[in-house]
Amino acid sequence: MADEPKGSRGSLQGIAMAVVIWAIVVLSSLYYVRYGVPELASDRGYLDSLYYVILGITGAAYILYQLALGYVIYRYRGDRPGAESSYWHESHKLELTWTIGTAAIMIPIVFTGLIYWDRVKGPAPEDAVTVMAVGAQFQWDFHYPGADGEFGRFDPTLYAIDNQIGLDETDPAAADDWVLTNQLVIPVNRPTRILMRSKDVQHAIFLPNFRVKQDLVPGMTTEVWFTPVKTGSYEVACAELCGLGHYRMRAFLEVMEEADYRQWLSDNAPAAVADAADPAPEAPSASAE
Amino acid sequence: MEHEKQGFVSKYIFSFDHKMIGKQYFTLAMSMGFIGGILAVLIRLQLGFPSQPWPFLENLFPVGMASGIMTPEFYVSLFTMHGTIMVFFLLSLLPVSGFGNFLIPLQIGARDMAFPFLNMLSFWTVVPGAIIIIISFFVEGGAAASGWTAYPPLSAIRSAIPGSDAGQTLWLVGMIFFVASFTMGGLNFVVTILNLRTKGLRMMRMPLTTWAQFVVGILGLLSFPALAAGALLLTFDRSLGTSFFLPAGIFIGDTLMPHEGGTPLLWQHLFWFLGHPEVYIIMLPAMGFTSDILATFCRRPIFGYRSMVYAIMAIGTLSFLVWGHHMFVSGMSPFLGSLFVVTTLAIAIPSAVKAFNWLFTIARARIQFTSASLFGLGVVSLFVTGGLTGIFLGTNAVDIQLHDTYFVVGHFHFIMAGAGLFGAFGAVYYWYPKMFGRMLSERLGKIHFWITFVAYYAVFFPMHYLGVSGMMRRIYDPNVYEYLQPLQPVNLFITISAFVLFAGQLIFIYNYFASMRTGAPATANPWNAAGLEWSTPPHPGHGNWEGEIPPAHRWPYDYSEPGKKRDFTPQWEA
């Protein structure tokens, strides 16, 4: 037998490696279950289910693989009695098994994911409450179309301290429009459609409790829709680096009972009350220069 | 083949010798990695102790930490430059440019790379790039601050963030130097491997390290030009008033920008067309090192050599078809997003082949625990952990929630940074005798491994908890959000672990430099390894072999062949 590198056969290293890997697996998994996704407040629970299915599959794979790795390191450490290594290095059967096995596990994940993706990305229902989120360094403005359900046109040359979204007041559709800064109010159990645009750089609207995230891209209107199912006040975050104040680009999302929402509307935006009573039949449109 | 006697300059500075160039890359990459590590420590300092004053730091960073408290713009510069330096100047330079240059001729039996001058030039092209990147910290406004991804308009409009002024310009110039260098290197790799293999060394007899470098060379050649094009166009947008990435109506600092007609998504496509292959440019060499190291120290042939080669090719090919998974929530067409899910999750298959082949290489082995083999085993563990979390992110429906959270940060620090770094460490411990003719201290190597392995999990695994709980990346102070406040203990734990992780690397740096003088002299083949590189003298000179180049009679993995006296049969023995 050839000379061994000095000290390389010490059983301590092999046993320690196995024990450390096992300890990491146990501790990391135990702690994982202590941290869950934020409380769900939208109808996107199916995304959570898929998350948990993938967590189950990958978690099992993680635990089994790392346990096996620790085991083979322990079992085949060089100084065990009668240690000998095998020249065996090919098995088409085994290799086919894990190739096909992996594919078999991945295919249902891919397809379920795609089906859910389609559901998320499908067109918003007709009766959705529509709002335009306007992102800017480092502020959110939520532009409501008002009773006519149509957004007044905006013009970037009109951006000003008292007209954050650059609304063109001469447009008849703008007459009943109104804007909330860093606050979005929506009714519960009715689909909400958020159109979005950015005034300056990229932002991303992130509603952690609603499983919603979408980038705001200058020059484009992006959109997302979901149905809130729980009333309450939730935090809105920016998830795309947008500058030195990115970390404090925060807003609040208030989900209200339908009746409270109407009351809130008539208190704060009388011109828009009709909207809540009679959802706009036509999909609102955004116009940009 | 005769080589002229070399003076100091031609031997140590403008050397044509692939081994010296490789070592030059090591020094550069380790210096840059050290700086990148300090940036990481500062990032964690802020996240562990948000906005706490550290008066002594004001002396070091009079602007970024005025009165000892980190400013948000300095924080953004820190993670931007941490990412840039680590991804390009450590994780690409060390395993690819460093080990690629050092090992390819030795492993394929060549006197040097095909184009030695180009090789020297490629090193001296990346040096100014690195210097420019470092200098950018000291210009007005500080270093670039748009993330390592440099998304416009933030990176394109100078008033968008202080770092987008001179700092971003220097970032772009530095990157263009880097790309030029890396492209020359990639060309050299491919040509060398295709043309200069010694007699008998068929492609299917090459070590997996060289296979990986071959595929990496191709990936670099095809992907980096996209970044070069993007960086050039972005420079035009910034300096010449063009609008490749800038639409009409951008309003920053009370000024309406004159640009019109471009789209920021174009940059994302160009960037990630490089960015994703880049991940595998970092990963594949680490996979190669791990395979070679495991075979040697398990005293066993690598399991499933052929499928390992095919897996490298498959991963390399797929890496060009998956860039859109970085853009699931970018506003890109949802249909396109679905296509990228299929290609992305297909990578799970060749990755599983890798993981199981390694497991079966270790099984039925007689493992020798050296620093190199410990790091090799570490790669296997990190690779599986990081690979599995990729399944969450590759499934676009689940990615919606996890995108741009710490889940992503944890994921790529395992798979790309972690496995890449551990692979490089293993490679240094393994090939150091060939590099300097001396052995590294195994004692220090093992201490380094244990600190690094445990601290690595302690730093990066809890990041998944943060991400699942909804903590965004790149935020200066998570406590601004009420729902993130309960996570502060996790952030503190990560920060303390990160300090330990960084301290552990000092042991490595000491070991690396001290062993050049004090290490035990190495024999020609200290590990009883079978690869062709071990047929060279203990400290090979220019030209590598003193006599004839040995032919390759077999593959490099003949360990414990039944009926043989020794437990390995070198590749160069009939």
A126 touching B (Cβ < 8 Å): no
* pLDDT tens digits, B443-466: 999 999 999 999 999 999 999 999
φ, ψ (nearest 5 deg) of residue B175: -65, -35
Per-residue pLDDT at A288: 39
Q: Complex ipTM, two decimals?
A: 0.94
- pLDDT mean over B472-493: 96
What percentage of residues in chain B have a pLDDT greater than 90?
A: 94
* pLDDT tens digits, B338-392: 999 999 999 999 999 999 999 999 999 999 999 999 999 999 999 999 999 999 9
Per-residue pLDDT at A11: 73
Q: How far apart are CA B368 and CA B422, in angstroms?
A: 18
- Of the two residues B145 and B13, the one the predictor is more confident about is B145
**Tokens in use for A255?**
């989900």
Q: How confident is the model at residue B1 (pLDDT cuts 50, 70, 90)?
A: very low
B563 touching A (Cβ < 8 Å): no
Which residues, other chains included, contact A80 with Cβ-Cβ below 8 Å and sequence gap of 6+? A11
Which residues, other chains included, contact B44 with Cβ-Cβ below 8 Å and sequence gap of 6+? B494, B495, B498, B499
- pLDDT mean over B319-345: 94
pLDDT at residue A281 tops 80: no
A182 touching B (Cβ < 8 Å): no
The answer to whether A217 contacts B263, with C-beta atoms less than 8 Å apart, is yes
- In three-state secondary structure terms, B316 is helix
Among B72, B265, B76, B40, residue whose Cα is nearest residue B171: B76
Q: How far is A237 from chain B (nearest CA, A)?
A: 8
A64 touching B (Cβ < 8 Å): no
* pLDDT tens digits, B212-255: 999 999 999 999 999 999 999 999 999 999 999 999 999 998 89
B145 touching A (Cβ < 8 Å): yes
Best mutation target among B300, B379, B472, B557 (most A Cβ atoms within 10 Å) is B472
Distance from first CA to last CA of chain A, Å, rounded? 80
* pLDDT tens digits, A218-266: 999 999 999 999 999 999 999 999 999 999 999 999 999 999 999 998 8
pLDDT at residue A45 tops 90: yes
CB B33 within 8 A of CB B86: yes
Q: How confident is the model at residue A213 (pLDDT cuts 50, 70, 90)?
A: very high
Q: How far is B444 from chain A (nearest CA, A)?
A: 13
How would DSSP label each residue in B264-309?
Answer: HHHHHHHHHHHHHHHHHHHHHHHHHHHHHHHHHHHTSPPTTHHHHH
**Tokens in use for B304?**
């499933």
Parallel, antiparallel, or unpaired: how do β-strands A251-256 and A183-187 relate? parallel
Q: How far apart are CA A237 and CA B472, in angstroms?
A: 8
Size of interface A-B (CB pairs under 8 A): 348
User: Which has the minimum average pLDDT: B2-16, B57-71, B526-540?
Assistant: B2-16
Per-residue pLDDT at A280: 44
Tell me the chain B residues in contact with residue A223 when contact means C-beta distances shorter than 8 Å.
none
Residues 172-231 of B with CB under 8 A from A: none
- Closest in A4, A98, A242 to B368, CB measured: A4
Q: How many angstroms from the chain centroid is the CA of residue B565? A: 40
Q: How far apart are CA B507 and CA B447, in angstroms?
A: 8
Per-residue pLDDT at B160: 95
Q: How far is B524 from chain A (nearest CA, A)?
A: 13
- In three-state secondary structure terms, B407 is helix
**Tokens in use for B215?**
């595929």
Among B30, B81, B19, B22, residue whose Cα is nearest residue B421: B30
Q: How confident is the model at residue B12 (pLDDT cuts 50, 70, 90)?
A: confident
DSSP B474: T
Per-residue pLDDT at B440: 97
- Closest in B154, B450, B472 to A243, CB measured: B154
Parallel, antiparallel, or unpaired: how do β-strands B255-256 and A251-256 relate? unpaired
Q: How far apart are CA B561 and CA B570, in angstroms?
A: 11
Q: How far apart are CA B89 and CA B87, in angstroms?
A: 6
pLDDT at residue A274 tops 80: no
Tell me the chain B residues in contact with residue A206 when contact means C-beta distances shorter than 8 Å.
404, 470, 472
Query: In Å, how far are B109, B380, B549 from B574, measured between CA atoms?
Result: 16, 33, 14
Q: How far apart are CA B44 and CA B498, in angstroms?
A: 7
The answer to whether A5 contacts B526, with C-beta atoms less than 8 Å apart, is yes
Q: How confident is the model at residue B77 (pLDDT cuts 50, 70, 90)?
A: very high
- The b/e string for A200-233 (b: 16+ C-beta within 10 A; e otherwise) is bbbbbbbbbbbbbbbbbbbbbbbbbbbbbeeeee
**Tokens in use for A253?**
């999302």
Q: How confident is the model at residue B257 (pLDDT cuts 50, 70, 90)?
A: very high
Which residues, other chains included, contact B531 with Cβ-Cβ below 8 Å and sequence gap of 6+? B107, B207, B292, B296, B556, B571
Q: How far is B34 from chain A (nearest CA, A)?
A: 26
Q: What is the CA radius of gyration of chain B?
A: 24
Q: How confident is the model at residue A285 (pLDDT cuts 50, 70, 90)?
A: very low
The answer to whether B461 contacts A28, with C-beta atoms less than 8 Å apart, is yes
Tell me the chain B residues in contact with residue A28 when contact means C-beta distances shorter than 8 Å.
457, 461
Q: How far is A268 from chain B (nearest CA, A)?
A: 27
**Residue whose token pair is 């999302």:** A253
* pLDDT tens digits, B499-532: 999 999 999 999 999 999 999 999 999 999 999 9
The answer to whether B299 contacts A7, with C-beta atoms less than 8 Å apart, is no
Tell me the chain A residues in contact with residue B307 when contact means C-beta distances shorter than 8 Å.
95, 99
A256 — alpha (psi -120 to 50), left (phi > 0) or beta?
beta
- pLDDT mean over A89-93: 92
Q: How far apart are CA A238 and CA A246, in angstroms?
A: 7
A23 touching B (Cβ < 8 Å): no
Per-residue pLDDT at B37: 97
- Closest in A24, A73, A206 to B377, CB measured: A73
- Of the two residues B535 and A83, the one the predictor is more confident about is B535
For chain A, the three-class secondary structure string (H helix, E strand, C coil) is: CCCCCCCCCCHHHHHHHHHHHHHHHHHHHHHHCCCCCCCCCECCHHHHHHHHHHHHHHHHHHHHHHHHHHHHHHHCECCCCCCCCCCCCCCHHHHHHHHHHHHHHHHHHHHHHHHHHHHHHCCCCCCCEEEEEEEECCEEEEEECCCCCCCCCECHHHCECCECCCECCCCHHHCCCEEEECEEEEECCCCEEEEEEECCCCEEEEEHHHCEEEEECCCCCEEEEECECCCEEEEEEECCCCCCCHHHCCEEEEEECHHHHHHHHHHHCHHHHHHHHCCCCCCCCCCCC
DSSP B240: T
Tell me the chain B residues in contact with residue A66 when contact means C-beta distances shorter than 8 Å.
381, 384-385
Query: In Å, how far are A92, B273, B320, B348, B350 from B323, measured between CA atoms?
Result: 32, 6, 7, 15, 18
* pLDDT tens digits, B289-322: 999 999 999 999 999 999 999 999 999 999 999 9
Per-residue pLDDT at A78: 84
